[in-house]
Structure 1
Amino acid sequence: MGKKRIGVLLSGCGVFDGSEIHEAVLTLLYIDQKGAAAVCMAPDISQVHVINHLTRKEMKENRNVLVESARIARGDIKNLKDVSAVDIDALIIPGGVGAVKNLSEFAAKGPEGSVNAEVLRLISETKAAGKPIGALCIAPATLGMALKDHGITVTIGNDKATISSIKATGTNHIVCTVDQIAVDEKHKIVTVPAYMLGPGIKDVAKGIEKLVDKIVEMA
């Protein structure tokens, strides 16, 4: 039997406009340590905007989500439209604001926003196939929007405004500490607060390792 294939859905490169790099790299590290294979992917779309991570101000330029995500994947990445649930045994979505800006409209429109069509397709396919899905940090908000008719249970930490918006999608929320994971056994959903709580890389690493372990076990 070959290695379990764990899809990693990226949303760019950088916490303020793409994937949170620490979360993405830790996810890839733990997948590899578990003897599984990461299948990185991202949608071939323009970022909502580009943020200067030094000044945290918007820059007047355009960047592509797939091209930027390829930085994290060291170039070994697939266009999301070319990936289906049959290609993976599980799916993990790292956080970073790109997860709710580029993968969905949660950051701009809250629970009234839409999910990118290809993101929605893959999440729906993976769920329908009975394969586990993990989401880190703020990414459970997009997952909740995509699966709003299923009543899944997630965590994004303890931010009351974000919790309220997530609940408005019909998603259940439980508060977890940074080193705890929320496991929805019924729906095979595993989530972790990561940098929604932080404060540092050693802290978020504990929860992310538990999430990856659980996802690989369930796959």
Structure 2
Amino acid sequence: MAGVRALMASRWVASAFLSASGRLRPLPSPRAALHGSAPRAGPRVAVVLSGCGVYDGTEIHEASAVLVHLSRGGAEVQLFAPDVPQLHVIDHTKGQPAESETRNVLRESARIARGKITDLAQLRAADHAAVIFPGGFGAAKNLLCCIAPVLAAKVLRGVEVTVGHEQEEGGRWPYAGTAEAVKALGAKHCVKDVTEAHVDRGNKVVTTPAFMCEAALHHIYDGVGAMVRGVLELARK
């Protein structure tokens, strides 16, 4: 994603984009709004999906939470996904690969988008104030080389991100070791709870732990809401 400055959330990535004039150009597609027919005055936000399902695509609860909070925040949303085969398909009842199955990332993502989705190849930074990548292992397998905050650390040296806590704490933070990967890439890791988000205003980066924490779903939802509010605040400036 050359030339793109990213807003990364722990299982999310959010990037702010402005045109050279500081104005947001109209979206090329009439399907820009996710739901509802009334025009919105809020920022245009792209959401990039990576399939449908936590183990081989987008984590559905995270995607749903971000879309709800964007809707509540008055954003105009357009959904994207790459038109490519999934790396593999996981049987979610067993947590194991389904060797005989193949799926397409765009078609699987359309399940979450209720059919209103565009090929990622058509995403143009100048058309949006921000872009958010919900998490799930599909973000690593089908889109990125690693989970979102580590990618931010690699792209933006010195960026501040959070993946939550730095110790497992009896299994509450099973992926706490990710914080060390963030630090190893020269980024600053900021300890945050699951309901919180960290805003790096200098780099326009917003992060939240989400499912990096073993927490009740409503706490994940609240953390995503904090992240989305941070993204929209930056997008409106």
Give the structure-1-normalised TM-score.
Answer: 0.80
Matched, 1:200 2:216: yes
Aligned to 2:143: 103
1:5 to 29, 44, 62: 44
Aligned to 2:185: 169
Give the structure-2-normalised TM-score.
Answer: 0.74
2:117 and 2:152 map into 1 onto residues whose CA distance is 21
Aligned-residue offset at 1:153: 1.2
Aligned to 1:80: 120
Aligned-residue offset at 1:47: 1.3
Residue pair 1:15, 1:98 contacting (<8 A) in 2 also: yes
Following superposition of structure 1 onto structure 2, how do residues 47-126 of structure 1 map, counting pairs within 5 Å? 47-60=86-99, 61-106=101-146
1:55 and 1:24 map into 2 onto residues whose CA distance is 22
Aligned to 2:36: none
Letter in 2 for 1:64: N
Aligned to 2:3: none
2:214 and 2:233 map into 1 onto residues whose CA distance is 25
1:170–1:46: structure 2 CA closer, same or farther, 3 Å change rule? farther
1:14 to 34, 53, 59: 53
Gaps of 5+ in 2: 1-39, 166-174
1:20 and 1:29 map into 2 onto residues whose CA distance is 15
Letter in 2 for 1:185: R
Gaps of 5+ in 1: 107-137
Aligned-residue offset at 1:218: 1.1
Larger RCO, structures 1/2 (Cα 8 Å, 6+ apart)? 2
Residue pair 1:100, 1:142 contacting (<8 A) in 2 also: no
Q: Deviations over 1:69-123 (max 9, x none)?
A: 11111111111110111111111111111112211222xxxxxxxxxxxxxxxxx
Matched, 1:154 2:154: no
1:174 and 1:143 map into 2 onto residues whose CA distance is 14
Matched, 1:44 2:83: yes
Aligned-residue offset at 1:198: 3.6
Q: CA RMSD in A?
A: 1.6
Count residues with an aligned counterpart.
Answer: 186
1:217 and 1:95 map into 2 onto residues whose CA distance is 21
1:49 and 1:25 map into 2 onto residues whose CA distance is 23
Aligned-residue offset at 1:165: 2.0
Aligned-residue offset at 1:168: 2.8
Matched, 1:26 2:65: yes
Task: Say which one has the larger Rg.
Answer: 2
Indicate the SS of the match to 1:183.
Answer: strand
Residue pair 1:140, 1:154 contacting (<8 A) in 2 also: yes
1:11 and 1:142 map into 2 onto residues whose CA distance is 16
| Structure with greater proportional helix content | 1
